[in-house]
Amino acid sequence: MKRSARVLTALLLALMLAALAIPFGLHYGPQIAELVTAPPDEAEPEIPPIQQPPDDVAPPTLVSQLSAQAPTPTPDVLAPLLAAALEVPGETPVTGVVLDALTGEVLFERGGGELQLPASNIKILTATAALAKLDPDQRLSTSVLTGGVGADGVLVLRGEGDVLLGTGQSNPDAVVGHAGLATLAEQTAAKLDDGGSYRLVLDDTFFVGDVLNPSWQPGDVEAGEVAPIYPLAINSSWLDESKRSGARAADAALVTAAAFREALIAAGVQVQEGIERQPAGEDAVVLATVESATVEAQVEHMLLTSDNYLAEVLARLAAEASGRPASFGGGLETIAEVITELGVPTEGMVLGDASGLSPRNRVTPRQLTDVVRTLLRSDSRALRHVLHGLPVAGLSGTLAERYNDGDAPTFSGAGVVRAKTGTLNAVTALTGHVVSTDGRLLVFSFIASGLEGTTEPARAAVDSAAAVLATCGCR
């Protein structure tokens, strides 16, 4: 009896436990199974291609051409916006022209045919002449010769137009200092194994005529804006080779020869005191030569930095290449010839120098825009490269410190406006090209001359006008 009771009790307990296990298993079973069962394999997340590390350097891509169907600004809409931007205190208006680069249509004109002092905008014409007459890949030599001057023991330093020499070793990655006097001296020393003492002679006869333009203002020369022009110089004749300001050498060729003499001594060559000027004879033998950066690179440097000295040298080199004297007059004749050959009307144009310092210069905004448009559309790679030297707003050259105020309306032109600047005491000018917000290539030239204490506002005005072209669809 007792055994039967125990069996019954055990059976009832088992039934109760089974009843409790059913809901427990239904509720917690899946969680327990998840804990003891290995999770299924999950696919790794897909990384977007842009976030994936590259396997190799990507090949360069070309910028696509602008569409010929891009909308052109409407003159009636553009005119009041430019007129407002070009307002300057005083009675002297800012003149200007805007052309459609593709069709040549005049989109804006105010005094576009008036002859003006263009300041350094004249350098666009100088650069055009240089690359029209010279091989863009040509390099300018500075050499050391011996013999041919009537005596033994003579070393002749001869310059042929490189005025961007450095005093140190030649730097193949630089434009200024691409050819170095220390390198030239070491090459010379390696050819001299007699241990003798030498006289140093300077041959700077490659250029002819006056070394100072008679129309330059004495104050500009005294201020270092320019200096007497010679066919060899250290960094455009700046006395401090490391800078692009301050005083310039009154005799850049002689200063260069003196620096070369010191380099020869450092290289172990005995050099006597004094430096004579004398042309190398026809039977002189070249011992050593260093070569400049290419003409193309020098033209670009001239435009980016607005180098007055280099501009005058490039004009003389263009003259020599065209068969004219390598002089001020020969350079100006060559510039006029090239601009005429491009088909640009030159009526009334007056060229006083190649750098823009001469008060005799007279050019119209329309003539400047015609030159830029012609270069943009030229089949000549060399001529198109002229525009590579134009400074980029807010980024390079003489425009690096302009268009970079984020709170100013001109900021919209940063990185888009490409133009040659021009500044004199009473003149400000800006000539170049810009792509509008609609993708239309526009050419412009804005000039204000005869300014009286308003040069800074005038400069801000021409910058603002170019920025308007960059941001205004104007339709």
Q: Provide the pLDDT for residue 19.
A: 40
Q: Global pTM? A: 0.85
pLDDT band at residue 202, thresholds of 50, 70 and 90? Answer: very high
pLDDT band at residue 143, thresholds of 50, 70 and 90? Answer: very high
* List of domains in the chain: 75-133+306-471 (3.40.710.10), 139-301 (3.50.80.20)
Q: Provide the pLDDT for residue 44.
A: 57
- With beta carbons less than 8 A apart as the criterion, state whether 469 and 75 touch: no
Mean pLDDT value across residues 335-346 = 97
Mean pLDDT value across residues 375-390 = 95
Tokens of 50: 């842009």
Q: Provide the pLDDT for residue 55.
A: 56
Q: Which residues of 223-343 form beta strands (DSSP E)?
A: 232-234, 270-277, 285-294
Q: Provide the pLDDT for residue 3.
A: 44
pLDDT band at residue 48, thresholds of 50, 70 and 90? Answer: low
Catalytic residues: 120, 123, 306
From residue 77, how far is each of 22, 74, 145, 411, 468 by CA, in Å?
A: 84, 5, 65, 21, 12
Within 10 angstroms of residue 58's Cβ, the number of other Cβ atoms is 7
CB neighbour burial string for 13-37, b if at least 16 within 10 angstroms, e if fewer: eeeeeeeeeeeeeeeeeeeeeeeee
Q: Provide the pLDDT for residue 194.
A: 74
Sign of CA dihedral 238, 241, 246, 251: negative
Mean pLDDT value across residues 231-243 = 95
Q: Provide the pLDDT for residue 53.
A: 54
Q: Provide the pLDDT for residue 29.
A: 43
pLDDT band at residue 266, thresholds of 50, 70 and 90? Answer: very high
Q: Provide the pLDDT for residue 64.
A: 60
Residue matched to tokens 């300018």? 140
Tokens of 339: 């601009």
Within 10 angstroms of residue 363's Cβ, the number of other Cβ atoms is 28
What does the pLDDT look like over 119-128, one tens digit per residue? 999 999 999 9
∠ CA(433), CA(322), CA(419), 5° rounding? 10
**60 pLDDT exceeds 50?**
no
